[in-house]
Amino acid sequence: MTTANSQNAKKRDDGLKSIVSLTWVMIEKFGTVAISIVTFFVFAKVLGPAEFGIGVFAMSIGQFLVMAFTSLFQDILVQKKEIDEQDKNTNFWSCVGIGTIGALLLVIGSVIWAQFGDPRVAWMSAFGAIQIPLTAISLTHMALLRRADQFKVLAGRTLIGRALGAAVSIGMVYGGYGAWSLVAQPVAMSAFATAALWLMSPWRPRWSFSTRLMMDHLRFGAPLAVRGMVYDIFTRSLPIVVGIFAGHAATGIVTLAWRIVELPRSAISSGLIGFSLPHLSRRQDSLEQVQRAYQSLTRATTLITTAMFLGEFIIAGPLIRIIFGPEWESAIPTTQIFAVAAAWSFAQQYAGVGLTAVGRPAALLAFHVVSVFLSLALFPALLLAGMGPISAGVIQVLRLALWTPANFSILRRVMGLSVAQQLKAITPAIGAGTAMVVAGVTAEHFLRRQLSDPILLVVLIGLGALVYAGVLSVLDRAWISELSGLFKRGRARTGARDNAKGAL
């Protein structure tokens, strides 16, 4: 076999390995979403609004800290070209130390809160602090498994933890424990997931610590943690600000529309980030390879996610009327705007990941923070102007509009990707998605009075798929042959594996 053929075979094998890894990532994320939907339905049905609200509020503080803490130490081990036992052990003990301090501070704050506020909520918040050290002792193991592309193990760990934790919390809610059931859920999930991870992962920490390495890890992870916290503040502010300026009914509309779009968006996005950082980091020595991988990932992602979320735009009307009833029809426009924002966000999905992979995690941080807080500053003005729930979707689009020019500029300067190269990766999906939306909106306008919502939903899905595939075939003719080639190579590998088993 020639060198060129060997290289091509290696690329094909790497491509198939990436597909397998990404498949396990998506199984993990959508399995998590499915479990979340079931538990959300049970809690909302059994607890009622007041008790449910108490539980959500009490557990949100601990979850916010866990989210920030996760970004602080994990990605450095994935991104670094070479790591040794000193890196691993320092990372682990840093996680344990800072996680323990964070949990203790939350407990102390809760004890003080109990003296002046609602003691029940305060003690629930203190109990929720247990999830912080439980998460801390798993972060290094998770990073090492991501680095080694062991996404099957990570998926198993997550789904085991989620399923068992959900079983515990559902048992508690039916046992009459009320809001405590909600607070116990993330604690139980963290405990089971961490136990499963330690059983599945071969690495064990030893006492070895370097203050210099800890500071290096903190310097790298701090921008990622800040970015995550700022976005979390943005998303949590939406229903609060709407409730203050537009009332509780508008808050309900925004919350429903947000969940319809955000549940699949966050599952896909977090999965892609977890997969793509090791994928891009392995190429950090060659900027040209990083550029190619970035464009390839962006192109493949936008081809799928644009169809999904602009498809959600055109079916939002019949979908909401079928599932939630005509009384929720006012949520349709807000859902559609959130869907447009979701599709837009995936066009820039790998900007932060790419910059992290080449060792520049803070490059976009200032622009991200400014776009979030400027959007939030304009939010009350839109509500006072009478825009209502739609304004929540508008500021999401505004945030992306403010951030996009900086995104193009920073990627050009740091990664050498010209604006033309960046646009080339997303233009086919944008063109096909726009045509699909025009066709879908036109069809719904003429057919809504003639067809029932279930039939209209089927018609819009079929029409959208045909238009999207047709226009995409004109704008990006290679996508069909590439998809077919991947399928054929996958079948060939499966056949070879079956033949090998038969020969044993």
Our CA dihedral for 154, 172, 67, 120, rounded to 10 degrees, sits at: -160
What number of H helices and E strands is found in the chain? 16, 0
Q: Is residue 146 part of a domain?
A: yes
Residue 148 lies in a domain: yes
Q: Which two tokens stand for residue 442?
A: 């036109």
Q: Which residues, including other chains, have CB under 8 Å from residue 143's CB and lie 6 or more apart?
A: 73, 74, 75, 76, 77, 78, 91
d(CA 277, CA 220): 14
Residue 164 lies in a domain: yes
Report yes or no: 275 and 282 within 8 Å, Cβ to Cβ: no
Q: Which of 117, 348, 95 is nearest to 225 (CA)?
A: 95
Residue 82 falls in which region: left (phi positive, over 0), alpha (psi -120 to 50) or beta = beta
Instruction: Check: CB of residue 399 under 8 Å from CB of residue 371.
Output: yes
Residue 484, in any domain of the structure: no
- How would you label 165-193 residue by residue, b for 16+ Cβ within 10 Å and e otherwise? bbebbbebbeeebbbbbbbbbbbbbbbbb
For residues 308 and 461, is the Cβ–Cβ distance under 8 A?
no
DSSP 341-374: HHHHHHHTTTHHHHHHHTT-TTTTHHHHHHHHHH
Examine residue 257 and state whether it is found in any structural domain, yes or no.
Answer: no
Rounded Cα distance between 240 and 255, Å, is 10
Quick one: pLDDT at residue 446?
A: 93
Whose CA is closest to 340, among 311, 298, 376, 378?
311
Domain count, the chain: 1
Handedness of CA 295, 298, 304, 306 (dihedral sign): negative
Closest CA to 30 of 191, 158, 186: 158
Assess if residue 221 is contained within a domain. no
Residue type, 309: F
Stated length of the chain: 504
| Cα–Cα distance, 348 to 342 (Å, whole number) | 10
Residue 468 has a CB neighbour count (10 Å cut-off) of 25
Q: Are 223 and 361 in contact (CB under 8 A)?
A: yes
Contacts of 439 by beta carbon, 8 Å cutoff, 6+ apart: 463, 464, 467
Alpha helices in 117-209 (DSSP H): 119-128, 131-147, 151-174, 180-200
The answer to the question of residue 437 being in a domain is: no
| Structure confidence at residue 500 (pLDDT) | 43
Of 164, 153, 162, residue with least CA distance to 197: 153
Q: What are the φ and ψ backbone dihedral angles of 150, each rounded to 5 degrees?
A: -90, 60
pLDDT the model gives residue 496: 45
- pTM over 0.85? The answer is no
Q: How many other C-beta atoms are found inside a 10 Å radius of the C-beta of residue 42? A: 16
d(CA 397, CA 334) in angstroms, rounded, equals 11
Per-residue model confidence (pLDDT) at position 17: 65
Report CA dihedral (333, 258, 397, 277) to the nearest 10 degrees: -140
Cβ count near 481 (within 10 Å): 9
The answer to whether residue 330 sits within a structural domain is no
**pLDDT tens digits for the chain (504 residues)?**
455 455 454 555 555 566 777 788 878 888 888 888 888 778 877 876 677 777 777 777 777 788 777 778 888 888 888 889 999 999 999 999 999 998 999 899 888 887 877 788 888 888 988 999 999 999 999 989 988 888 888 888 889 999 999 999 999 999 988 889 888 999 999 999 999 999 988 899 998 899 999 999 889 888 888 888 888 888 878 877 888 888 878 888 888 888 889 888 988 888 888 888 888 888 888 889 999 999 988 998 999 999 999 999 999 999 999 988 888 898 999 999 999 999 999 999 899 989 998 888 888 888 889 999 999 999 999 988 888 889 999 999 999 999 899 999 999 999 999 999 999 999 999 999 999 999 999 999 999 989 999 999 999 999 999 999 999 999 987 766 655 554 454 454 444 444 444 444
Which two three-digit tokens encode residue 134? 């439980």
Q: Write out the residue range of the structural domain in which residue 196 sits.
A: 1-209
Give 374-421 as a 3 state SS string: HHHHHHHHHHHCCCCCHHHHHHHHHHHHHHHHHHHHHHHHHHCCCHHH
